[in-house]
């Protein structure tokens, strides 16, 4: 029950009405008997600076950051975690000693979700489709986990080249950039990450790659989209024999990582499993 000592957390973005974050974090608070509440703050265009200043004035304990502010918010932070700075985006802010400290838990959430389905990236060949903000988190996560080689493909090749350079600045790993149309010529087994919005509801018939032969080269296929539950990309990969994973696990586990940063705790596996099942049920309503 909310009282005079309840700690307040929230989400800032535009829009925020669709977000599952309030459900996840308030569920975790109830499960762990934490005296906190999590709400969505709709921060409209040109109001980000006011919102960030208000966090300290209102004694907000922490916030998540969603589109379109994951990059812009970094200008208003007192400290930024090294991985978040490398990725170039912040999705979690901890308020401590009147300082706003930025983190990126997207890459942590993806790493934990992959481990849950027993996918090991060490020494593996990775394919990243896309070169935007999500692709940066994926690329840095793969390099951090010890991948052997990263191939990046994107409609705008210059963006893919920038991502390859970013990864190379922080990790000693081989990277290459290839055009989308060259994927059908590849024969090596890879773990593929689809990071673009192609195939997201309501455009569920769309697919970044239609070439059937391509899907036979996939050992694992990950699509960061979670609506629909199975994209055209994932269906093609599953039918070709690949292990598949959508973005639900990443969404849940990035929230877990943020909660643990805020409350300085480690959530036990049993609580995580029970809350994840409740989250999946909520997602399908």
Residues annotated as catalytic are 70
Query: 4: number of CA atoms within 13 Å, CB side?
Result: 0
Q: Could you give the C-alpha distances from 237 to 149, 152, 213, 248, in angstroms and in order?
A: 21, 18, 10, 17
110/115 Cα distance (integer angstroms): 9
Q: Give the closest residue to 185 by CA, choosing from 217, 143, 159, 231.
A: 217
- How many Cβ atoms are within 10 Å of 9's Cβ, its own excluded? 26
SS (H, E, C) 55-89: HHHCCCCEEEECCCCCCHHHHHCCEECHHHHHHCC
Query: 108: number of CA atoms within 13 Å, CB side?
Result: 19
User: Residue written as tokens 């050992």?
Assistant: 219
Cross-strand pairs, 129: 153, 194
State the alpha helices, DSSP H only, in the chain: 21-32, 48-57, 82-87, 106-116, 133-144, 157-170, 212-215, 232-239, 248-263, 269-283
- How many Cβ atoms are within 10 Å of 181's Cβ, its own excluded? 10
């Amino acid at each position: 029950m909310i009282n005079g000592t309840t700690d307040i957390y929230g989400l800032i973005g535009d829009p925020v009405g669709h977000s599952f974050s309030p459900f996840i974090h308030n569920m975790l608070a109830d499960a762990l008997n934490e005296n906190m509440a999590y709400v969505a703050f709709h921060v409209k265009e040109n109001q980000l600076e006011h919102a960030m200043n208000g966090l300290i004035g209102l004694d907000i304990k922490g916030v998540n950051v969603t589109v379109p502010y994951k990059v812009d918010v970094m200008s208003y932070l007192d400290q930024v975690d090294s991985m978040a700075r490398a990725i170039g985006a912040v999705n979690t802010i901890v308020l401590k000693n009147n300082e706003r400290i930025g983190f990126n838990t997207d890459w942590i959430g993806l790493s934990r979700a992959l481990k849950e389905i027993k996918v090991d990236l060490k020494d593996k060949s990775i394919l990243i489709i896309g070169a935007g903000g999500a692709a940066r988190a994926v690329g840095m996560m793969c390099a951090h986990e010890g991948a052997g080689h990263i191939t990046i493909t994107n409609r705008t090749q210059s963006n893919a080249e920038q991502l390859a350079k970013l990864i190379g600045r922080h990790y000693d790993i081989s990277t290459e950039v290839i055009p989308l149309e060259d994927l059908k010529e590849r024969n090596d087994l890879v773990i593929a990450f689809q990071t673009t919005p192609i195939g997201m509801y309501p455009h569920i018939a769309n697919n970044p790659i239609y070439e059937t032969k391509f899907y036979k080269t996939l050992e694992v296929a990950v699509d960061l989209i979670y609506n629909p539950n199975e994209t055209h990309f994932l269906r093609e990969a599953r039918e070709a024999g690949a292990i598949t994973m959508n973005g639900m696990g990443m969404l849940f586990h990035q929230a877990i990582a943020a909660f643990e940063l805020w409350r300085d705790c480690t959530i036990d596996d049993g609580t995580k499993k029970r809350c994840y099942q409740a989250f999946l049920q909520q997602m399908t309503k």
